[in-house]
Amino acid sequence: MAQPALVVGADLAVHPAGSAAEARCGDGAGAAVVGCGTPVLIFRGGLSTTTPFVDRYQAPGLPTVDWEERWVREEGVLAHVPEAIAQALGRAGLAASEIDHVVLPSTIPGVSKAVVERAGLTRARLAPDFGEETGDTGSGHALVMIAGALDRMAAGQTLLVAQFGQGVTVLVFEATEMVGSYRTNLDGQLAAGIAEETYLKLPVFRGQLGWDRGLRGRQSTPEALTTAYRKADPLLGFVAGRCRETGQVQFPPSRLVSDGSGLFLDTQEPWPLADRLGTVTTATADRLAFSRSPPSCYGLVDFDGGGRLMMDFTDPDADTLTTGQRVRFALRIKDLDDRTGWRRYFWKAAALVEGPSVAAN
């Protein structure tokens, strides 16, 4: 009996400024649940091979080492992938000409088309690689591209996924009746993208460019690990307290609460806020406070169902949030301590974009 599993691929690309990799790659993530429920895709067969072919190398905090793309294409991808595809098709009991859709992530232009031709996938359509929209999202990209393929597949059609990297993995699937009604949130995510034209933000945010934080930005952000653990529910889970006597919601939770009429001890029960929405009561865009992306935008937010919090706003349109606007909540980096590398997370308010696919995210 198969156990359900969650598969997640995610990457945050750090490449040298001005490199081809920087231009072609992006941050992103894809996820799939396998082994339970009513499937959209059924696994027909596949395989993984390994080969000591190192085409790029990067140690943490050190620059990337790349080799010539022509060598990677000829001796790497084209030498190994078509053969692995042939073997995988044999295991799946399918002929090359029976494949309808192909997912083949690669940052080298033209290589996917060459693989399709050499492998004899005569009727297959290449799934969109989102090279212009997101760039190659690294370890998440096969999943991102599968999501793109799903949105154009019909029941009974076949999907071949192949990816090269010190070996090859090939997976062959067949779409079920479910595929017709199934929609991923990919289009919504792509549509919600905001163009950023200030290139310098990228190397600054990636820590690749030294910059002047001003005296306010030089303060270290020590973490009291004891407090972080003790308060993990409110800080990471965004869990408030709701008094079972009065219904009053409060963040952060506390033992002793008052509603003006009386004091109550230990009457608060956990009240998660993360999936609720809120309304901005008042706000500012602060040009004096330290921020990696000034101005520092924050304000008082009232939660649906009670409670409120003075909190950071996030996303590029944060400075447009003002009284009355609806917000959702996202777990984001709150502080980065440059001295120790400590990364603190907390929840921030972001403008609520109408449309269920993004709001539900």
Partner 1 sequence: MASGIKDKVAVLAMGCSRFGERWDVGADELMVEAYTEALRRAAIAPEQIDAAWYSSHYDDIGAGKAGTPMALALRLPGVGVTRVENFCAGGTDAFRGAVYAVASGAADIALAMGVEKLKDTGFAGLPPASRGTFVPMYMPTHTNPGNFAQLARAYAAKHNVSMADLKRAMAHTSVKSHANALDHPNAHLRKAITIDQALRAPMVADPLGLFDCCPVSDGAACAIVTTPDIARGLGLREPIMVKSIQVVTSNGWELQQSDWDASYVHTARITARRAYAEAGIDHPRQTINLAELHDCFSITELVTLEDLALADEGSAWRSMLDGAFDRDGKLPCQVDGGLKCFGHPVGASGLRMLYEAWLQLSGQAGSRQLGSPHHALTHNLGGSPAQNVCAITILGV
Residue 148 within binding range of partner 1, rule CB under 8 A? no
Instruction: Count the neighbouring beta carbons within 10 Å of the beta carbon of residue 56.
Output: 13
In sign, the C-alpha dihedral spanning 317, 318, 324, 326 is positive
Q: Which among 179, 164, 189, 154 is positioned nearest to 78, based on CA atoms?
A: 164
Q: Which phi and psi angles does 104 have, rounded to 5°?
A: -145, 85
- Give Cβ neighbours of residue 245 (< 8 Å, ≥ 6 apart): 264, 267
- Per-residue binder mask for partner 1 (CB under 8 A), 251-270, x = binder: xx-----x-x----------
The residue from 159, 283, 327, 350 that contacts partner 1 (CB under 8 A) is 283
Structure tokens at 154: 């019909």
Residue number, 123 or 332, with CB nearest to partner 1: 332
- Contact pattern from residue 331 through residue 360 relative to partner 1, giving x for each residue in contact according to CB under 8 A and a dash for the rest: ---xx--------x-xx-------------
By CB under 8 A, name the one of 59, 198, 287, 356 that touches partner 1: 287
Q: Kindly indicate which of the ranges 128-136, 154-162, 266-274, 295-303 contains the residues binding partner 1, using the contact rule CB under 8 A.
A: 295-303
Q: Kindly report the backbone phi and psi dihedral angles of residue 23, in degrees, each rounded to the nearest multiple of 5, phi listed first.
A: -70, -30
User: Is residue 322 part of the contact set for partner 1 (CB under 8 A)?
Assistant: yes
Q: How many residues bind partner 1 (CB under 8 A)?
A: 53
Q: Which residues contact 361 (CB under 8 A, 6 or more apart)?
A: 185, 188, 189
Token representation of residue 307: 């409670």
- From the CB of 65, what's the least distance to partner 1, in Å? 38
Toward partner 1, which CB reaches closer, 188 or 295?
295
Minimum distance from residue 221 beta carbon to partner 1 (Å): 7
Q: Does 26 bind partner 1 (CB under 8 A)?
A: no
298 sits near partner 1 (criterion: CB under 8 A): yes
Q: What angle do CA 227, 230, 232 make, to 5 degrees?
A: 100
Examine residue 286 and tell whether it contacts partner 1 (CB under 8 A).
Answer: yes
Does residue 281 sit in helix, strand or coil? strand
User: 205: Cβ–Cβ under 8 A, 6 or more apart, which residues?
Assistant: 292, 293
Applying CB under 8 A, the span of 69-77, 96-104, 181-189, 283-291 interacting with partner 1 comes to: 283-291
Q: Which is nearer to partner 1, 148 or 299 (CB)?
A: 299
Instruction: Out of 214, 247, 272, 355, name the contact with partner 1 by CB under 8 A.
Output: 214
- Cis ω for the linkage preceding 295 (within 30 of 0): yes
300 binds partner 1 (CB under 8 A): yes
What angle, 0 to 180 degrees and rounded to 10, lies between the N-to-C axes of helices 111-118 and 78-92?
50
**Residue 94 φ then ψ, to 5°:** -125, 150
Which structure tokens are listed for 90?
Answer: 């044999």
- Dihedrals phi, psi of 192, to nearest 5 degrees: -80, -5
Binding to partner 1 by CB under 8 A, coded x per residue (else -) over 124-143, reads --------------------
Element (H, E) at 11: strand 5-11
Q: Tokens 């001890």 — which residue? A: 265
Residue 317 CA, chain-centre distance (Å), reads 19
Contact between 119 and partner 1 (CB under 8 A)? no
Q: Given the complex with partner 1, which of 107 and 325 has the nearer CB atom?
A: 325
Note whether 56 binds partner 1 by CB under 8 A: no
**Which one of residues 311, 327, 328, 329 is an interface residue with partner 1 (CB under 8 A)?**
311
Interface segment toward partner 1; rule CB under 8 A; list 25-33, 84-92, 160-168, 307-315: 307-315
Q: Smaller CB distance to partner 1: residue 70 or 287?
A: 287
Q: For residue 101, what is the enclosing H or E element?
A: strand 101-103
Summarize as ranges the residues that interact with partner 1 (CB under 8 A). 214-216, 219-222, 224, 226-228, 231, 234-235, 248, 250-252, 258, 260, 281-291, 295-296, 298-300, 302, 306-312, 319, 322-324, 334-335, 344, 346-347
